[in-house]
A and B are shown apart, each in its own frame.
Chain A
């Protein structure tokens, strides 16, 4: 399954404007006149990751379901196994403050487990 990043051929760290330029290039490559399906795919990919809010939603949506529980289990039950420090845990708890911190925090947690 191709991710929106694959479809637009951009890195996951790409900025809004990089993603937009990639999208415009792809639209020129697959204009709606001649490439109905590819165009729709490109357009949807762009709509999915065009700004930070969309990208965060996409990341959360595509995270495996149990991950938050696993994270909490890891913290409360098997604490010694996973080396999660107080700072990282606080980051996770403070994640709801804004989308960016949530994204960074979940990414860090994912790396640990």
Chain B
């Protein structure tokens, strides 16, 4: 039997988990709901809340609740949750752990692997943080795929006729646009562009500002100082946005919003769709600009596009459809639920990886140009930070490129390799994503050849190496954001911290019939051992079978000490066989 790999859409506002069952995509429900709001909270008893309950708690205890954590992924900051500091990875891990439990409850077996989607325009640091969140949650992230690509896969994975699609993905916090060619069940992304800080949250913020201004003008109250009132205004703004998708006007009403100088303040004001559309016009213009950049990247024009696919809840805004209709001359599609198609695509990719028969092949690209800097002419002047692009945007993944450089002066012992992301000819105007030195070079004249190799894997993660050609002296790094890098040790302690939070809910509710972690670990070992049977000697195989039987008895008898002992022995054999 194949090991189950789940597909997860870890969204800014909502998250979902899906699997492929008998060739069909199934979004797993939790208490009848397919969507888990991406909210995390801790209630006054110290219990952890994830999803709808946390979302509800946000109104009463905003300081005990975290929302839209995805917007902070990859940044070196901590968020406060009920008086404790957590890294964004840890908060995301809590959501992932909940999704894992939902899936485990459905398939009735432990799950340890997942395909997680990320916005196409997510940077290296943001991808790294997502992977770490998975690890903290006890999920091996076997692949990260881009959200618009996942949506394209859900839409067109089984299509044979040629079709060119534009995927317009506007979520809670991020915007992506991809041009995709589907033909002979090859789903090929031709280009991607986006903005990793533009989404429905920004639309909410516009309405929030409008309400806050109204309160200052009409009541002389600054509601920013009142966290509860602000939470209610935030929710009211969000609801107003939803209503305006269907109605030309909305009444925003919140009674007893707060007390000011002994008097109760009630909120009541009207907002028209036209005014709202004015507020968000700049954002919509920015997305349309990105659409044109993506088309240009694919060397296509709007007439070449056969279909537009809308992804993400924010695409329900009517003026977005209108703008796209104006640009392309036809209506966008939304047959597959824009909230679910990303998770469905992730599940399809997961099935491909686990070896289930899926006909489609996926080819994706990087939305970024990566390169290094060197001493060269820029605008007619010698400039030490001239940008040398090595991997160009919209290159198909995986990709490996090498460029040769020369030392600049005689007896140069050290070269500094700095890696940038961006397209500006002046490297300093691009984003610096990593730097290292190659030291101990030969004592030779200037012109010593140093090659720099950039390799971008299917997850969109970059590996850089530099080599002195004459001697083979090499230095390499995997780019991680130096700021948010989690050392292995802190990852472990983060995992323990998160597990502990869940330990409290495990006792409080009986829905969680899932196995404790040591059992899950042992099951993983057993699966690994069985996979090695073919390669091992009869003697080793017999030892492993004995240990596996031992482990199974221990699990049945709930003997965790003996289980640990057997698992350690089995792990040793596996280690020996694999090395």
Interface residues of A (CB under 8 A from B): 20-21, 24-25, 27-28, 31-33, 36, 39-40, 43
Contacts and interface: CB of A to CB of B under 8 A. Distances in A.
Contacts of A28: 184-186, 361
Interface string B386-400: 000000000011111
B361 A40 contact: no
B482 interface: no
A85 to B, nearest CB: 40
Given A40-B400, A43-B396, A32 B186 contact: no
Contacts of A24: 183-184, 186
A28 B360 CA distance: 8
Given A25-B184, A28-B186, A43-B363, 8 more contacts: A21-B184, A24-B183, A27-B361, A27-B363, A28-B184, A32-B362, A32-B364, A33-B361
Contacts of B188: 27
B352 interface: yes
Contacts of B378: none
Nearest to B359: A28
14 contacts: A20-B183, A24-B183, A24-B184, A25-B184, A28-B184, A28-B361, A32-B361, A32-B364, A32-B396, A33-B361, A39-B398, A40-B396, A40-B398, A43-B396
B353 interface: yes
A32 B456 CA distance: 12
A15 B348 CA distance: 33
Contacts of B353: 33
A25 B188 CA distance: 13
B186 A36 contact: no
B356 to A, nearest CB: 13
B505 interface: no
Contacts of A33: 352-353, 361-362, 458
B458 A32 contact: yes
Contacts, number: 38
Contacts of B363: 27, 32, 43
Interface string B165-184: 00000000000000000011
A32 B398 contact: yes
B349 to A, nearest CB: 9
A30 to B, nearest CB: 9
Contacts of A36: 398
A25 to B, nearest CB: 8
Interface of B: 183-186, 188, 352-353, 361-364, 396-400, 458
A24 to B, nearest CB: 5
Contacts of A27: 186, 188, 361, 363
Nearest to A30: B361
Contacts of A21: 184
A43 B397 CA distance: 10
A40 B363 CA distance: 11
Contacts of B185: 28
A44 B466 CA distance: 24
Contacts of B186: 24, 27-28
Q: Which of B184, B364, B458 counts the most chain A CB atoms within 10 A? A: B184
A27 B181 CA distance: 13
Contacts of A20: 183
Contacts of B352: 33
A50 to B, nearest CB: 11
Given A27-B363, A28-B361, A32-B362, A40 B399 contact: yes
Contacts of B396: 32, 39-40, 43
Contacts of B397: 32
A40 B397 CA distance: 8
A95 B323 CA distance: 45
Contacts of B362: 31-33
A27 B189 CA distance: 13
3 smallest CB-CB distances across A and B, nearest first, come from: A31-B361, A24-B184, A43-B396
A21 B185 CA distance: 12
Nearest to B353: A33
A39 B396 CA distance: 9
Contacts of A40: 396, 398-400
Nearest to A17: B162
A27 B396 CA distance: 12
Contacts of B183: 20, 24
B146 to A, nearest CB: 13
Nearest to A40: B399
Nearest to A25: B184
Contacts of A32: 361-364, 396-398, 458
Q: Which of B183, B186, B362 counts the most chain A CB atoms within 10 A? A: B186
A31 B355 CA distance: 13
A21 B183 CA distance: 9
A27 B185 CA distance: 10
A57 to B, nearest CB: 15
Contacts of B364: 32
A24 B400 CA distance: 21
Nearest to B455: A36
A24 B188 CA distance: 10
Nearest to A21: B184
Contacts of B184: 21, 24-25, 28
Nearest to A28: B361
Nearest to B397: A32
A36 B353 CA distance: 14
Nearest to B399: A40
A88 to B, nearest CB: 35
B473 to A, nearest CB: 25
A39 B185 CA distance: 16
B188 to A, nearest CB: 8
Nearest to A35: B398
Q: Which of A27, A28, A32 counts the most chain B CB atoms within 10 A? A: A32
A6 B458 CA distance: 26
A27 B398 CA distance: 13
A33 B397 CA distance: 9
A69 to B, nearest CB: 29
